[in-house]
Amino acid sequence: MDDKLSKYPSNETFKVIDTVGIPHPYCITPKHLGNTMYLDGNAIRDAESRGAKCGIRGCQLSYDEHRQALLIEVNHPADQVSDVPGIHEYVESIKEMCVQDNFVGFAFTKKR
């Protein structure tokens, strides 16, 4: 797990396990690979300055406009996340850290 994520508290019910792209993951295209095979944020921005863009059909957002949300694993049998006891308190307890780390929200997945 990324060090930025490992600092988030967890318990037997909730654990931050990853991030998800908002509104969707940024999609790399062949135009991004024109000058390099290593793509960090700076390389993607450089490719965008030469006409590359997100490969999701119809997407007009730049790399920097694609944001990330925290993915929280929920270990509870409830069908709806809103029915899991303690969910509101857990999210409130990490909200400030989430904002400081530039995450824009939360997504949930059930533990397998």
Q: Give me the pLDDT at residue 95, please.
A: 96
Sorted by where each begins, the domain ranges of the chain are 1-23+67-112, 26-65
Per-residue pLDDT tens over the stretch 11-70: 999 999 999 999 999 999 999 988 777 889 999 999 999 999 999 999 999 999 999 999
pTM surpassing 0.85? no
Per-residue pLDDT tens over the stretch 68-98: 999 999 999 998 999 999 999 999 999 999 9
**C-alpha gyration radius of the chain:** 17
Question: What's the rounded Cα separation, in Å, for the pair 18 and 33?
Answer: 26
CATH number assigned to the domain covering 1-23+67-112: 3.30.300
Question: What's the rounded Cα separation, in Å, for the pair 27 and 52?
Answer: 10
Tokens of 16: 């931050």
Q: Give me the pLDDT at residue 20, please.
A: 95
